[in-house]
Amino acid sequence: MIAKKLSLIIAACCIIVAMGAGNVSAQISGYVGAGLGAALSSFDEAHAIFEAPDLSPSETSWRIFGGLQLCPNLGVEAGYVGLGTAKLTIESPHSYFEDKATGYDLTALGYLPLVGNLTAFARGGIMVWSTDMTWSMPDADSTGNKSGTNLTLGFGGQYIFGRSLGVRAEYTRYAIDKAKAGLGDFNVLSANVFFAFGRK
C-alpha cells in the first residue's frame, strides 16, 4: 500500500513537470539545510507498561535535508530526522521506559509563491523510521528495536534572502505506527535554515 501511494506521488510529480515546465532544466535549483523543532507524540501504553499521568512527551527534534525545486510550483526533498528520546519514569519501584525515534523521509513539495521571496508550501511522502526501546526495572533490563514505513505530511512557509540564504517554518506530521514503534503520530513544529544554489 505504501509503495503504491509513493508511486502515485512520483507519477503526479512527473505529470506536473511535463505539463507545466516548458524548460525545467533551466529552472532547477537545489538546496541543503538543517532545522530544530519540538516533537509531540504519545507512548503506546502496552510498550511503556507503566501507568503514568503524562503519556505525551514533547522532545527536541532535528532534521538535515536537501532537495531540488524543479519549477516555481514543484520540488522534491529528502531528509534524515531525529524525533528525540522520550523517557517515562516511575519512582517506586524505580523503573523507566525509553524510546528513541529516527528516520529517513522522501517527499514531494508543492509551492505557492506569495509576495517577493515569500512562499507557502505543502509536502507529502513517506518516512522509513526506526526506534530503539529500553525497559529498565528493578529485577531486569531489556532492549528492542522496530522499523517500518509510514506516510508524512506537512505545510509551512519560507523566505529567501537574496539568492542563497533561506529560512523556513513548518508543521510536519509523521504518522508512525505507535503500536509497533512504541511512540507514534509525531507532530513537529520546526524552524529551519537552508542554503540555495543554482537560483536564477
pLDDT band of 27, cuts 50, 70, 90: low
pLDDT one-digit tens code per residue, 44-88:
767 766 655 455 667 889 999 999 998 889 999 999 999 888 877
Cell 522534491, residue? Answer: 76
The CATH number that domain 2-197 falls under is: 2.40.160.20
DSSP E strands: which ranges in 5-73? 29-43, 58-71
pTM: 0.78
CA–CA gap between residue 93 and residue 190 (Å, rounded) = 37
| The predicted structure's pLDDT at residue 22 | 40
